Chain A
Amino acid sequence: MSYINKPKVAHPSLPTNTLGMTRRQYEGSMSTLCAGCGHDSVTAAIIEACWGLSMRPEQLVKLSGIGCSSKTTAYFVSGSHGFNSVHGRMPSIASGANAANRRLTYVGVSGDGDSLSIGIGQLVHAIRRNVNMLYLIENNGVYGLTKGQFSASADIGTKAKRGDVNSSPPIDPVLLALTLGATFVARSFSGDKAQLVPLIQAGLRHNGFALIDVLSPCVTFNDHEGSTKSYTFTREHYHPAVEADFVPRAEEIAVDYAAGESIPVSLHDGSRVILRKLDPTYDPTDRSAAYSYIETKLKKNEYVTGLIHIDETDSTEFHNLNRTAQAPLNGIPYEKLSPGSAALDKLMARYR
């Protein structure tokens, strides 16, 4: 952490978005994480993504659990809503908030410990329910906040800072999400903002649950030799398969894409994602093909990155399935929300 705050002074020619805001106006409070933590770069990518989407800060809801990763929601878009839940319980809070107000944009930021160890029971149901949110896992293979114990995403054979070797098999959040029917599954790396920023933008605009597993090295407890989640190891085993370009609504597609290698996908709100296949054999719209591709690569210690799977035709989105109210609950008159004891009695009478 730093003792002096990032000053408000900014580059004099900083561009503004359609709201007239600069990227600096999407920052939050000063990070208290270790200098060099991958999570801070993810924070910077979220800031860039929200700025690029011209997101109104009050439109955004930030949710997190416990962990260094979960602390990061404090470090971006300070004018937005937020909830910092108990360890591993962010998905329930997100589901509840989402059910109560479908008009806001939800971003959950969690860690591999928060999501795959203590919180995995919650995560799988949020995926299964297809809660309309972007769920980012800042994956470093350890419990950073509690000083670097192996988490459920630690690879077999990876070495802890003190030398112990992990022998339990890892849970891969990407494979997990694919099995559970998630309609937007991606993987990226904190050190690759060019890839990460459009993924975050597409994930925020996706209708349904969007998961991005971000490899985000813990510089303090998991960046040594022998670790499979270090900066060096990640860079050496990084395999971009499909890059996604995000084209906001009402904007023309500016780049010429070679037919066959690029697949345009329209998102629910009119924005588009152009998938650029770096591996021509790969088809991101085919779930089972994606699953086996990722699995094969993982066995060779290769992290496939990019927008691994997307399905915009799916209709199981949470609000759709549950026919939730269009209006936010806090905007519905109290009498309508709570019809009173007479109405309750009438309802109960039907079961007598």
Chain B
Amino acid sequence: MEPTDTSKSDYFHRVVDCQWACPAHTDVPEYIRLIAQGEFTAAYMVNRESNVFPGILGRVCDRPCEPACRRGRIEEKPVAICRLKRVASDHRDDITGLLPKAPREKNGKRIACIGAGPASLTVANDLLPMGYEVTIFEQYAVPGGLMRTNIPAFRLPANVLDEEIGYIVNMGADLRLNSPVNSMRRLLESEEFDAVFVGSGAPKGKELELPGRHDTERVHIGITWLESIAFGHVERVGERVLIIGVGNTAMDCCRSSLRLGAKDVKVMARKPRQFFKASDWELEDAEHENVAIVVNHAPKSFVTEGGQLKGMMFEKLQYDIENGDITATRSLGDVFFPCDDVILAIGQENAFPWIEQGIGLDLDKWNVPKVDKATFQSTLPQVFFGGDAAFGPKNIIWSVEHGHQAAISIHKFCHDEAVQERMPRGVTLSSRKMGMHEWAYKNEYNGVERRLVPHVGLVERFKKINIEVELGFTAEEAALEVQRCLNCDVQTVFAAKLCIECDACIDICPVDCLTITHNGSETELRSKLTAPATNRSQALYVSAPLPQTARVMVKDEDVCVHCGLCAERCPTAAWDMQKSTIHIPHAIDEEVSACPA
């Protein structure tokens, strides 16, 4: 293999698995270290810089970082990254003084954001401090989007939303509530705005057209039903409830049912458990509340009598599964499940009834706008999309990242610069060596197991619809959990010319990451290391030829625990532990020429 060029910013970024996996590239190890030092406010601000809503995301983020966490490859469980974010949020001081401020003098550019969900709010967050005037049009009386209307209050309390949305709106956004945008054409023709950002979400719940569907009022569309609960329009549900679908919306529907009086809630899944879309932790939480999850049942019809829902007919299925794929399906006959209400939670779609045809804004055959994956620009240059509106339903953290990227594009667009030419990510390194055996980070591996977050008791939590179930880590548990982070951003940096090939680093490495060997192809190298490197998603570092034997130093990044022992045992300091800081450009970092008049 060619010697690895670590100056390419992505090499070290990839080593920080969590930060790489986070759509917004939150600097996870940095905020965890700050929590460890009791610097909760600083930890909150590190989060806010990239993910904008630490208190919200510390509760309900989809947490793609956790399956990626290196700790999960060393032990079974990753660091509780998400819940530590909440720790930073719960324990922070008042941060209003630390927030970016909008300048008194504006730059003369006006931006319209459609919808007050996380995507639009992020655009406002990034552009307001730069002097933009941002108007947010929201059809409802409250901002927040699905975070407010669909994520139940027992997972995400309203005060957390109010506070973090407030930080943005209070910078001077012109938030117009109860103001649906009914015509894109009119908005554009008003010429009030230099650019438009569409953050209107994917608001349409999928239908299930089966016999009997429209013979009763007791079949509800999940996201609409959750919204009605959030707005207080629905306060009761029948005793027996069937939820159709087994994604995250289904989990919120079943748990909400329990809080509206249901006694017997079943989540009906067409396929076996391994094919479920819901996150493990959402399933766990639902099952903990005694929701039954029934697998291998495909809905067939709604059974009604005189306009009254009696139940549903299902076809019981049996599957042959090979290597995770279904190879054959057999019917085992029909089964009837009695119920009082049915909630359909089988997905969401985009819908833009207010975007007229023929205005130059192209939608594809699924009614999804044609949007550039990197710039978020639509076929109308002044219109940008982001969040669920751009590529269909995702999650909050993706909406935030879309918002950041769209803000960069809008900034470039408003300054007549090419939106494609964006500042690349960068990396800076600084040694953590303080003395012979002193490192400016806690490098000792702590074998403590993942801590469990305490929950409100199973009786207490059902007393009201909005009792937050998770309590957040106690200070003691948080202090243990932070020690599980491996500091993957403290990188092993190698200087081949210094190495005398004494093998000290290879012998000391607790997880057998290092090998000095003759160079070869990647496949060859991967098979002949101290421990074979089978995880191809993780990079091999290959040094320049070593001075004495022309062999190479190879490091498998996969399970390095960043303990620094290699650097500590190296007699020539050929290995050094250096903290990498990944620079993720936001709109404010982009240099543009002065505003055209």
Q: Which residues of A contact B (CB under 8 A)?
A: 1-4, 6-14, 24, 34-38, 40-41, 43-44, 190-191, 193, 217, 219-220, 223, 231-232, 235
Contacts and interface: CB of A to CB of B under 8 A. Distances in A.
A337 to B, nearest CB: 43
Interface in B443-457: 443-445, 447
Contact of B565 (A2, A44, A235): A2
Contact of B504 (A9, A40, A232, A235): A40
Interface of B: 73-74, 437, 443-445, 447, 500-504, 506-508, 510-512, 531-532, 534, 548-549, 559, 561, 563-565, 568-572
A80 B142 CA distance: 71
B503 A13 contact: no
Contact of B510 (A6, A191, A193, A232): A6
Nearest to B531: A11
A40 B500 CA distance: 15
A35 B504 contact: yes
B531 A34 contact: no
Contacts of A10: 510-512
Contact of B447 (A2, A7, A219, A232): A7
Given A2-B565, A44-B507, A232 B548 contact: yes
A166 to B, nearest CB: 22
Contacts of B570: 35-36
B504 A8 contact: no
Contacts of A231: 500-502, 548
Q: Which secondary structure dominates where chain A touches chain B?
A: loop
A98 B406 CA distance: 78
Contact of A4 (B73, B447, B504, B568): B568
B549 A235 contact: yes
Contacts of A190: 502-503
A219 B501 CA distance: 11
Given A2-B568, A2-B569, A3-B437, A11 B500 contact: no
Nearest to B547: A232
Contacts, number: 97
Nearest to B76: A12
B445 A7 contact: yes
A9 B74 contact: yes
Contacts of B511: 9-11
Given A2-B565, A7-B561, 5 more contacts: A9-B510, A12-B73, A12-B559, A44-B503, A231-B500
Contacts of B502: 36-38, 41, 190-191, 217, 219, 231
B510 A7 contact: yes
Nearest to B486: A9
A35 B563 CA distance: 16
A4 B565 contact: yes
Given A2-B565, A2-B568, A219-B571, A11 B504 contact: no
A8 B447 contact: yes
Contacts of B563: 4, 7
Contacts of B561: 7, 9
Given A4-B444, A9-B447, A36 B569 contact: yes
A264 B105 CA distance: 89
A123 to B, nearest CB: 27
A231 B571 CA distance: 12
7 cross-chain pairs, A with B, having the tightest CB-CB distances, nearest first: A36-B571, A7-B445, A44-B507, A3-B437, A36-B502, A41-B503, A35-B569
A36 B510 contact: no
A242 to B, nearest CB: 21
A108 B503 CA distance: 23
Given A9-B74, A11-B511, A223 B443 contact: no
Contact of B503 (A4, A34, A191): A191
A17 to B, nearest CB: 15
Most chain A CB neighbours (cut-off 10 Å) among B443, B447, B507: B507
A140 B405 CA distance: 61
B96 to A, nearest CB: 41
Contact of B571 (A3, A34, A41, A191): A34
Nearest to A13: B531
